[in-house]
Amino acid sequence: MPEQAATHHYRSIFVSDIHLGLRACRADLLADFLRRVTCDQLYLVGDIIDGGCLRKCWYWDRHHDEAVRLVLEMARDGVAVTYIPGNHDEVLRGWLGLEITGVRLN
């Protein structure tokens, strides 16, 4: 898929309830959105990864990979990325306070 130039800049973007790992997840739409914006701060606010779903039946396609890659690129490029786990990605609560590949877990 060809890269698209970002068309909008925001100080902060909040994303929640993506549920990566769920077959019905529209990671393709998230990736498209992330390609079209820039921001100073990106907040991933709960249920980004659906750990419960992944434990039951693993599902992860190229759109999931692309969405995660774009978030990590944003962090690498200086965006302050903060991940706040929700009830579906509670396994990450054990990592609160850590920064992993530029993503701060709070």
Convert the pLDDT of each residue in 67-95 to its tens digit. Answer: 999 999 999 999 999 999 988 887 788 87
- Report strand pairing: 80-84 vs 103-105: parallel
Distance, CA of 50 to CA of 43 (rounded, Å) = 17
Please choose, from the candidates 72, 71, 4, 73, the residue with its C-alpha nearest in 3D space to the C-alpha of residue 32. 4
Please give the model's pTM, rounded to 2 decimal places: 0.87
Q: Return the pLDDT at 58.
A: 85
The residues spanned by each domain of the chain are 8-105
pLDDT at residue 2 greater than cutoff 60: no
pLDDT at residue 4 greater than cutoff 80: no
The torsion region of residue 97 among left (phi > 0), alpha (psi -120 to 50) and beta comes to: left
